[in-house]
Amino acid sequence: MSARLPLFLRQLRCPPQPAGPPRRLRVPRRASSGGGGGCGGGEGLLAQQGQQNAQAGSSHGPGSREPPAWNVIVREVIQNSKEVLHLLQEKNPAFKPVLAIIQASDDNLMQEVNQNLAEEAGLNITHICLPPESGEDEIIDEILKINEDTRVHGLALQISENSFSNKVLNALKPEKDVDGVTDVNLGKLVRGDAHECFVSPVARAVIELLEKSGVNLDGKKILVAGAHGSLEATLQCLFQRKGSMTMSSQWKTPQLQSKLQEADIVVLGSSKPEEIPLSWIQPGTIVLNCSHDLLSGKLGCGSPGIPFSGPIAENDVSLLAAALRIQNMVSSGRRWLREQQYTRWRLHCLRLQPLSPVPSDIEISRAQTPKAVDVLAKEIGLLADEIEIYGKSKAKVCLSLLERLKDQADGKYVLVAGITPTPLGEGKSTVTVGLVQALTAHLNINSFACLRQPSQGPTFGVKGGAAGGGYAQVIPMEEFNLHLTGDIHAITAANNLLAAAIDARILHENTQTDKALYNRLVPSVNGVREFSNIQLARLKKLGINKTDPSTLTEEEMNKFARLNIDPSTITWQRVLDTNDRFLRKITIGQAGTEKGYSRQAQFDIAVASEIMAVLALTDSLKDMKERLGRMVVASDKDGQPVTAEDLGTPVFVHAGPFANIAHGNSSVLADKIALKLVGKEGFVVTEAGFGADIGMEKFFNIKCRASGLVPNAVVLVATVRALKMHGGGPSVTAGVPLNREYTEENIQLVADGCCNLQKQIQIAQLFGVPVVVALNVFKTDTRAEIDLVCELAKRAGAFDAVPCYHWSSGGKGSVDLAWAVREAASKRSRFQFLYDVQLPIVEKIRTIAQAVYGARDIELSPEAQSKIDLYTQQGFGNLPICMAKTHLSLSHQPDKKGVPRDFVLPISDVRASIGAGFIYPLVGTISTMPGLPTRPCFYDIDLDTETEQVKGLF
C-alpha cells in the first residue's frame, strides 16, 4: 500500500494535476461506532480502482460520467471552510476554532492527516494521547475534561474498535460532537433537524461522492453491510431522504447473499469476512468501503482484478470524510460565536396563584417551587461556564460575561428610593420586585432586580428579612435572608484577619529586635530567602529598589520590618454580622500572653466594613485587589498612613472547626451522603483534627453518638521527626532550619518518642476499633527508623503499620496502606463509647482526663464548679463533653511531650453549647481565639487577577 501524505498535501495546495493511479489513504472515521470522519478507525475505500476497472475490462456503465478527481473535491470543501472561517474572523479576529482529538491507539498517520487538513483550513488541533490499552473510564475522564474546556470547539475520538461504547460516545457534549456519534445528534438527524446537529462525515462523504459522480440515488437499492451504531443509522437516514430503498445487514445474516445480489450500491461498514464469496456481488455494483483495513494493505471487498466496478477512486471516502469533519468544525465554531452574542431571553415565568387572605411571606415562598438556577441561567442567555452554582436555586455569575457582552448596548437604569424611613418600613424591596415582575411577566420586557444581600443583624434584630414581601419577594426567602452564597461571612473573615494582623504586628514589633523581626518576616526556606510579592510591593512603596533580602542595609531592614503603628490611631475595627450592643466598646489584649499590650476597640456590623464598600464599588478583580490594598487602617508614629497592603492584603480565608477548641470533624450529613454514594463495598474517609486524644476522642464520643454511625477502622498518622521530638528532640520554630537530630538518623530518639504513638494506639483501642498506623515518610527518614516505628506500633496493638509515600508518589505511594485499611475494616467492629452520658459532668471529664490523657486526677476552679452546678441544675448534665485543651501535649502544658504522667488536669472554666449538644470545659490557659505568628501565611496568599485563582495556599 502506498500512503504518501506529503504528496497529498502538496496536491491540495497546488492546481489539479492529471489524474493518476489513486492512492490509498487512511480514513478518519470511527470503526464500529460508525462515527464520523474522525481519527481512528476507518478507511474510506471505493471497491474498484481505475486499474482494477481496466484489468477487468469494465466501464462506468451507461449514463455515467467521469468522476471528478478526489483532490479537487476535498480542496473544494477545505477552501469553503477556509472562506467561512475568514468571514467569522473578520468580526472576531482572535477567534480560531480548536479541534481536540483523543487518541488511544497506535495510529499516528491520522494525526498528521488531521493536523495538515486543519492547518490548510486555518484551525488548531490539540492532541491528547492515551496509552492504547486505556479503559473506558480513562477515555471518558478525558472526554469530560474537554467538554468543559471552553477553548475547544470540537472533539473526536481515535480509539480502538473495542473501546467504542454508548457510554463513551454519549459522554461527548453534543455541541462538540463533530463526528455525529452521540444519540442527541443522531436523534435530531432522524427527526429532520439536520441543520441543528452534526452528521457523520463518513456518511456525508458516501452520499456526496455518489452524487458528484453522477449516480442518481432516487429509486436505487442500497445495502449497508457490516455497519454498526451511528454510521449504520446515519447512512440509512440519508439514503432514504434521497429516495433510495435502503437495506441493512450484518455479515452473518442468512439473507445476505440475496441482498448483495439485488443491491445497486453496497456500502461496507466493516471488513468483509473471508467466507463471504465475492461472487455474491454482481458485476457493475458500486461498492464503497468504510471499513478500516486499507492502512494494512487489505481491501475489504477483495483484491485487484475483482470483476465489479465503481465510478469513484478508492480513497475518495476517506479524504472527503476528513475534510467534511473540518467543515463540521467550522460550523461548530460559528455556533459557538453565535452563542457568545447577546440573544433575547427565552424566559418561562413561573405562574402565581395568589390566595386571599395573603399568607405569610414564608408560606408564600415555600408554596412556590423555584426554577432550577441552571435552567434560569440558560433562559436569560448565560453560558454554562459563566455560572458557579450554589445548591439548586442560587449561582454566582462570572466576570467574563462583561467581556463577552462588551459590545452590547446598555439598557435603561432605574433607581427605587423611598421617603424618610420609619420603623414600619416602606417596602422598597417589595416595590422593586413587583416592578420587575410586571415588566418581565406581563410586558414581556427583559428586566432584572438588583438587590442587596440582607445582613443577619437586622434580620435577627428588628427587620425580619429583606427579600421583599407577599407575592413580590425573592425566593427561597430563607436562603436569601440567611447566608445566601456566604459573601458577608467572607467579608467578615477577611476584615477580622486584617484586624488581627494589626494587633499581632504591634505585639511582635514591641517584643523583637530589628534583626529577629526581619529574619522572621523573610525566613530562609530550603536554603532560599526571598520576598513575597506582597513584600516586594511594600519595598517599592518605601522606595527600596531591591529584591535580594540579603542586600538590605540595617536602616532599610528597620524601615521594611517596622510599621511603627500608633495604637491610638487605629481605625480598623473587628466586625460581626450580628446585632450585639455590648460589643460597641471593648478592651482587647488583657491576657497575660499579650505581654501587657491592651487597648480599647469595638465591633462594627459586618456590612459596615470597608471591604463591603470595596466589593460594591469595584469594577474588576484587579481593581478590587488594588482598592483592598489601599485601605488605610491606622497611622504610624510619624503620622503617615498604614495600609492593608503594608500588612498583606486579605483575600481568602479558610474556616473550619478546630479540634482543640471545637469538635474538629466534618459534618454528619456529608458522611451519611457519601456513605450512600459509595455503596456497600465503598469507603468514606473523613478526618478528625489534631491528635487521637483530641479529634478522634470527640469523633467517637460526640459525632458518632449524634450520627449513629459506627466506624470500621482508624488510621493513625505518624512521622519519624515528630516522634523524635516526643523522644526528647530539640524544639522547633517555624521558619528556622531543623536541627540535625531531625535530618539525620537517630534511632534512640525515635525509640523514645514511640511512647506517644503507643499511647495514641491505646486510646483508639479504648473504643474497640482496629488501628492501622500510617507512617508518613519524609526524604530524611532512614530505613532503620521506618522499620523501628512499624515494629513498635504493631507491638503496641496496631492491626498493621505501613510506611506511606503519597507525598512523593501520589496514590501509588499509599497502595499498601489501602490494602491494610481494607483488611482492618473487614473485621467485626467492637465499637463502644468511652463513657455513659448519664454520668455526672465531673465524672465524664475525669474519665477523659484519666483514660485518654493519662492524668492522675482533675482540679476544678471555683468558677468551673459553679458552672457545672448551674448546667446540671438546668438539665444539661446528660450531654457529652467537648474538651478545649492544647493540642501540643497529652497534658495541659504544651511543652510536655511524649507521655506526661502523674499530672493533675486543671479545669479553669466550663461553657455549654446547648444547640450543638455538648459541654465545653476549658483546660488550663487554653484560648478560644488563636493568635497570629510574626509572619502569617497571608503574606504568601494572593489573587491572580488573570486566572481568577487564589495562589499561595498549601
Cα angle value 442/443/446 (rounded, 5°) = 105
Tell me, yes or no, if 492 is annotated catalytic: no
* Percentage of residues in the chain having pLDDT higher than 70: 80
Sorting pLDDT into bands at 50, 70 and 90, what band is 663?
Answer: low
CA distance 760 to 899: 10
Lowest mean pLDDT among 284-288, 301-305, 754-758: 301-305
**Identified catalytic residue from 298, 378, 392, 428:** 428
Determine how many CB atoms are found less than 10 A away from the CB of residue 254: 7
Model pLDDT, residue 865: 95
Q: What is the pLDDT of residues 513-556, one digit of tens each?
A: 999 999 999 998 888 899 988 899 889 989 999 999 999 999 99
Sorting pLDDT into bands at 50, 70 and 90, what band is 301?
Answer: very low
Sorting pLDDT into bands at 50, 70 and 90, what band is 6?
Answer: very low
Tell me, what DSSP letter sits at residue 311? S
pTM comes to 0.62
Model pLDDT, residue 325: 92
Tell me, yes or no, if 430 is annotated catalytic: yes
* Residue positions counted in the chain: 954
CA distance 156 to 173: 11
- Report CA Rg, the chain: 37
Tell me, yes or no, if 463 is annotated catalytic: yes
Q: Residue 731 — φ and ψ, nearest 5°?
A: -65, 155
DSSP 206-249: HHHHHHHTT---TT-EEEEES--HHHHHHHHHHHHHTT-EEEEE
- Identity of residue 943: L
Tell me, what DSSP letter sits at residue 795? H
What average pLDDT score do residues 597-605 get?
87
For the cut 70, the answer to whether the pLDDT of residue 4 exceeds it is no
Model pLDDT, residue 656: 40
For the cut 70, the answer to whether the pLDDT of residue 412 exceeds it is no
Model pLDDT, residue 98: 92
**Identified catalytic residue from 460, 690, 831, 876:** 690
Maximal C-alpha separation, the chain: 115
**Identified catalytic residue from 4, 13, 145, 452:** 452
Compare 844 and 767 and report the one with higher pLDDT.
Answer: 844
Sign of the Cα pseudo-torsion (781, 782, 783, 784, in order):
negative
Residue 884 is placed in which grid cell? 478545649
Model pLDDT, residue 779: 87
385: Cα separation from own chain's centroid: 12
For the cut 70, the answer to whether the pLDDT of residue 646 exceeds it is yes
Lowest mean pLDDT among 264-278, 367-381, 446-460, 689-703: 446-460
Side-chain half-sphere CA neighbours of 206 within 13 A: 36
DSSP 240-294: HHTT-EEEEE-TT-TTHHHHHHH-SEEEESSPPPTTS-GGGSPTT-EEEE-SS-G
- Identity of residue 849: A
**Identified catalytic residue from 463, 546, 562, 672:** 463
Name the CA dihedral angle for 938, 939, 941, 945, rounded to a multiple of 10 degrees: 130
Q: Residue 577 — φ and ψ, nearest 5°?
A: -90, 50
Sorting pLDDT into bands at 50, 70 and 90, what band is 311?
Answer: very low
Residue 78 host element (H or E): helix 70-91
Lowest mean pLDDT among 54-68, 436-450, 880-894: 54-68
Tell me, yes or no, if 3 is annotated catalytic: no
Is the separation of the CB atoms in 282 and 261 below 8 Å? yes
Sorting pLDDT into bands at 50, 70 and 90, what band is 867?
Answer: confident
What average pLDDT score do residues 600-614 get?
82
**Identified catalytic residue from 251, 280, 345, 778:** 778
Q: What is the pLDDT of residues 920-929, one digit of tens each?
A: 898 988 755 4
Sorting pLDDT into bands at 50, 70 and 90, what band is 360?
Answer: confident
**Identified catalytic residue from 561, 659, 774, 801:** 659
Model pLDDT, residue 792: 97
Model pLDDT, residue 678: 53
21: Cα separation from own chain's centroid: 54
Q: What is the pLDDT of residues 170-203, one digit of tens each?
A: 899 999 999 999 999 999 999 888 788 899 999 9
Is the separation of the CB atoms in 225 and 249 below 8 Å? yes
Query: Is the bond into 273 cis (omega within 30 degrees of 0)?
Result: no
Compare 388 and 661 and report the one with higher pLDDT.
Answer: 388
Sorting pLDDT into bands at 50, 70 and 90, what band is 789?
Answer: very high
Model pLDDT, residue 431: 67
CA distance 23 to 3: 6
What average pLDDT score do residues 650-659 get?
36
For the cut 70, the answer to whether the pLDDT of residue 608 exceeds it is yes
For the cut 60, the answer to whether the pLDDT of residue 314 exceeds it is no
Q: Residue 331 — φ and ψ, nearest 5°?
A: -65, -40
Tell me, yes or no, if 690 is annotated catalytic: yes
DSSP 850-875: IIII--SEEEE-HHHHHHHHHHHHTT
Residue 183 is placed in which grid cell? 444519540
Residue 773 is placed in which grid cell? 498506623
Tell me, yes or no, if 428 is annotated catalytic: yes
Q: Residue 561 — φ and ψ, nearest 5°?
A: -80, -30
* Short-list 228, 166, 173, 168, CA closest to 197: 173
Model pLDDT, residue 59: 36
Q: What is the pLDDT of residues 709-759, one digit of tens each?
A: 888 888 888 889 889 989 998 887 766 788 899 899 999 999 999 999 999
Residue 808 is placed in which grid cell? 512523593
CA distance 486 to 494: 12
Model pLDDT, residue 812: 77
**Identified catalytic residue from 343, 438, 511, 807:** 807
CA distance 272 to 302: 8
For the cut 60, the answer to whether the pLDDT of residue 605 exceeds it is yes
Q: Cβ-count burial of 124 within 10 angstroms (0-12 exposed, 13-18 middle, 19+ buried)? A: middle
* Short-list 716, 738, 718, CA closest to 726: 718
**Identified catalytic residue from 234, 430, 459, 492:** 430
Tell me, yes or no, if 480 is annotated catalytic: no
Model pLDDT, residue 438: 72
What average pLDDT score do residues 457-463 get?
63
Tell me, yes or no, if 242 is annotated catalytic: no
Q: Residue 175: helix, strand or coil by DSSP?
A: helix
